[in-house]
A and B are shown apart, each in its own frame.
Chain A
Amino acid sequence: MSKSTFTRRTAAGLLAAACGGLLGVGPALAQGYPDKEVRLVVPFSAGGSTDQLARILAEKLSDKLGKRVLVDNVPGAGGNIGMGMVARAAPDGYTLILVSSSFVVNPSLYAKTPYDPKADFAPISYIASAPSFLIANPKLGVKTFPEFLAKAKAEPGMFYASPGIGTAQHLAGELLKKQAQIDIEHAPFNGAGPGVTAVLSNEAPIGFASVPSAIQHVQSGALVALGVTTLEPSASAPDVPPLDKAGLPGYEVDHLQGLLAPAGTPPEVIAKLSTAVQEIMADPQMKERLVKLGFVPVGSTPAAFATTIDTQVAKWKGVISSAGITAK
């Protein structure tokens, strides 16, 4: 399955290159790439984990490519606004996008998305994954996940905050609701900062938040971290147990952070970007910096990223339809 889409994408790229060749712009474009600023779209507001990663990546990519890579935040509608925009952008390598899980989730979540994750994009690299915490306001009076489960069963209808519809944190909540068989209700916010603040102010008693956006509040005691969504504890907070081990065996949410270009971007441009990204990700200093921020560095090849996209689209389609999650 992954192979076939990959070839289709390559074909699309070749076709675009051929068209470009006919017009006499394509090869010259790829050869001199980049000869101007590159725009890296982040489909979320500034300050969230995808934004953080994008800014670090943009800095390193600027050095590697010799032209400035500018981060452009296009937030809204669970990332759909930004992703739809890049899907329609000129495939010349000057518009790239760093996506999170919503990229593979939204097509199953929304009745209509302004993009197709496979046909509209050319994958470059799965940069890193970012685990999330299940956080609670201290006023809820729970310190551990089992205590929370008991509380949630006793008080059905509790709201959980997320950075928005279709974010990995939203799915983490729905997965929790389904697997733990508790009645909790989704409260979407507009970005990571507002989502965490909602739990801090006790507007929502619990919430899911990426480790980077919540770690300081957990360390200061303003928030309680009940568990982490990955199978291994986060390097930045080794005391917070994986939910998988805290009482929900098999619970796992992968938070991909991946770099893409619009489909039809010349293959040479993709190759150049992919090489640059993999060199960046191989740097131990870069790895250390990402781990410190709460990411798990990956840095895959375009082919491997394409496979991941295929598997994840299928996985979330299953979860969403069996859990009956909708965008509303």
Chain B
Amino acid sequence: MDLFQALLTGAATAFAPINILYCFIGVLLGTIVGVLPGVGPTATVALLLPATFSLDPASGIIMLAGIYYGAQYGGSTTAILLNLPGESSSAVTAIDGYRMAQQGRAGTALATAALGSFFAGTVATMILAVAAPALSQVALQFRSVEYFSLILLGLVTSVLLAHGSILKALAMIALGVLLSLVGQDVATGTPRFTFDLFQLYNGIDFVAVSVGVYGISEILRNLENTGARSTMVHALSRLWLTRKEFREIAAPVVRGTALGSFFGILPGGGHVLSSFASYSLEKAIAREPSRFGRGAIEGVAGPESANNAAAQTSFIPLLTLGLPAHPVMALMIGAFIMQGIVPGPQVISSEPQLFWGLIVSMWIGNLLLVILNLPLIGIWVKLLSIRYDALFPAIVAFSCIGAYSVMSSGFGVLLLALFGVLGYVLVRFGCELAPFILGFVLGPLLEEHFRRAMMFSRGDPTVFLQSPISVGFILLSLLALGAMMMPGFRRRRAEIFTSSDD
């Protein structure tokens, strides 16, 4: 059997002791930099890239891939424990993960993230092995028109991420999109909203925005009253899941894996959407949507699985079309090229050892991540037993250094302060941050695809209704909007949120 043969080839490469070692080093490094806010996998991979040149191509790439998904996992840890998401995907995990931590269920949340990721990684690895060549064609079905409609759907459904006013959530999306447009216009180079500040030419950095509106504003909020802060520290009984919790996460993990595996194939924004989409789906079909945003375990299980599945399957467009879904992947293309391997449809046939080796090593990497992280959960959770008044200065310190390191300039730290205040003000007004973050991440893609789709249609906006895929997404968006406006839905929301402004 061809596939079996292929996996054997891969296993031979990936199970070589030296490659397991490099995989472990990568995963370990990734976890460390992922846990520290602001450092991030991009900087780490960029720094380590030259060091991999002297390695065998397979070893080097296996290590870099390990850093990538190790960092994704480590980022979730910080998001859950400290509400400091350094990546757009961990911004979703923070919504319910951080609430769980506040309720003394940090261990459960971290274990859920680890198990969900492992399951998703295993399934996505198998999908890659079975269908990588065929799936590379899926990306070619998606053109600017389809991407635009898909992103629109993602933005509309992100209203489900919020549990307050629908209007405010929509306004927050628009605000996120608007702020994401700061910087030089990619098509013409015109600087927009930059106040002639050269530091803004490349746009507002994600770390400053995300750590500011979540981490810093959370500190400001906690300082509002001393009494509320004591809720932060709780007896941390369990580091594992109960049987009931296992049952609760099973279905979300499977659904998250399916969603993530699909979205990862789409290089024009799919990876970013995966965790948001999974969260929206879980909340939409939950029997008690009100639990979401207040420590629902499904809100951690689904998005974490989706994110990890997408991280794996996004190697398909990377390897076969040379299209990176993440800045780290762009750097990995560099690593491939350095090794004399140009990504393309022939990589699978011309470099079977490397291709299948990487796929099998992804699975090993996920296994190593679980082995590495489950014992660490106990240590992480201990962090939370630190008195809050001693903990938040540390959060301030880490956030400052993280924001500084992104551009090696104090400007990023100033932005951090600015977005900390903005986040605090907005939350005080009853606005929620998740739709804002999604708008901020997807804004540039939305503009790019909108402009290009309109160009190819020669200015005809009906082009979005001429492709079946696009029509499907638009119908789903309308359906979602309609459902939110429906009296029944609103009543249900109103019952739960009596303070709502409707």
**A–B contact (CB under 8 angstroms):** yes
Chain A residues with CB under 8 A of B201: 81, 84-85
The reply on B144 being an interface residue by CB < 8 A is yes
Chain B residues with CB under 8 A of A70: 46-47, 49-50
Q: Closest approach, in angstroms, between the C-beta of B218 and any C-beta of chain A?
A: 33
Contact (A76, B186) CB under 8 Å given A47-B322, A62-B50: yes
In the complex, A71 Cα to B456 Cα: how many Å? 34
In the complex, A96 Cα to B456 Cα: how many Å? 37
In the complex, A221 Cα to B453 Cα: how many Å? 27
Q: Closest approach, in angstroms, between the C-beta of A127 and any C-beta of chain B?
A: 15
Chain A residues with CB under 8 A of B345: 216-217, 220, 222
In the complex, A81 Cα to B191 Cα: how many Å? 10
Choose among A76, A198, A215, A219 the residue with the greatest number of B CB atoms under 10 Å from its CB: A76
Contact (A81, B202) CB under 8 Å given A56-B337, A327-B188: yes
Q: Closest approach, in angstroms, between the C-beta of A277 and any C-beta of chain B?
A: 18
Chain A interface size, under 10 / 10 to 19 / 20 to 34 / 35 or more: 35 or more
Contact (A188, B337) CB under 8 Å given A70-B50, A203-B144, A217-B345: no
Chain B residues with CB under 8 A of A198: 143
Chain B residues with CB under 8 A of A59: 50, 53, 338
- Taking a contact as CB atoms closer than 8 A, the residue among A55, A219, A222 that contacts B338 in the complex is A55
State which residues 62-115 of A face B: CB under 8 Å.
Answer: 62, 68-78, 80-81, 84-85, 88, 110, 114
In the complex, A212 Cα to B343 Cα: how many Å? 10
In the complex, A80 Cα to B340 Cα: how many Å? 29
Chain A residues with CB under 8 A of B344: 215-217, 220
The reply on A190 being an interface residue by CB < 8 A is yes
Nearest to A159 among chain B residues (CB) is B456
Q: Closest approach, in angstroms, between the C-beta of B369 and any C-beta of chain A?
A: 26
Q: Are B188 and A74 in contact (CB under 8 A)?
A: no
Q: Closest approach, in angstroms, between the C-beta of B56 and any C-beta of chain A?
A: 15
Contact (A55, B321) CB under 8 Å given A197-B140, A203-B144: no
In the complex, A200 Cα to B140 Cα: how many Å? 7
Chain B residues with CB under 8 A of A74: 202
Choose among A46, A110, A292 the residue with the greatest number of B CB atoms under 10 Å from its CB: A46
Chain B residues with CB under 8 A of A289: 340
Q: Are B346 and A216 in contact (CB under 8 A)?
A: yes
Interface mask (A271-300 → B, CB under 8 Å = 1, otherwise 0): 000000000000000000100110000000
Chain B interface size, under 10 / 10 to 19 / 20 to 34 / 35 or more: 35 or more
Which one, B33-41, B66-74, B327-335, is touching chain A?
B327-335
Q: Are B323 and A197 in contact (CB under 8 A)?
A: yes
Interface mask (A204-245 → B, CB under 8 Å = 1, otherwise 0): 100000001101110110100000000000000000000000
Q: Are B346 and A220 in contact (CB under 8 A)?
A: yes
In the complex, A18 Cα to B207 Cα: how many Å? 41
The reply on A319 being an interface residue by CB < 8 A is no
Contact (A193, B321) CB under 8 Å given A52-B337, A212-B342, A216-B346: yes
The reply on B478 being an interface residue by CB < 8 A is no
The reply on B139 being an interface residue by CB < 8 A is yes
In the complex, A217 Cα to B144 Cα: how many Å? 21
The reply on B229 being an interface residue by CB < 8 A is no
Q: Closest approach, in angstroms, between the C-beta of B148 and any C-beta of chain A?
A: 12
Contact (A190, B448) CB under 8 Å given A216-B344, A216-B345: yes
Contact (A71, B334) CB under 8 Å given A187-B455, A201-B141: yes
In the complex, A71 Cα to B331 Cα: how many Å? 9
Chain A residues with CB under 8 A of B144: 203
In the complex, A327 Cα to B184 Cα: how many Å? 15
Choose among A55, A80, A159, A200 the residue with the greatest number of B CB atoms under 10 Å from its CB: A55
25 A-B pairs within 8 Å (CB atoms) are namely: A46-B334, A51-B337, A55-B337, A56-B337, A70-B46, A72-B46, A76-B184, A76-B186, A77-B189, A85-B201, A110-B189, A165-B187, A187-B452, A189-B452, A194-B323, A196-B321, A197-B321, A200-B321, A201-B139, A203-B143, A204-B456, A292-B340, A327-B188, A327-B189, A328-B188
- A84-B201, A110-B189, A197-B321 known, 19 other contacts, Cβ within 8 Å: A47-B322, A47-B334, A47-B343, A56-B338, A59-B50, A62-B50, A70-B47, A76-B202, A77-B184, A77-B188, A80-B189, A81-B189, A190-B448, A196-B322, A201-B139, A201-B143, A203-B456, A213-B322, A289-B340
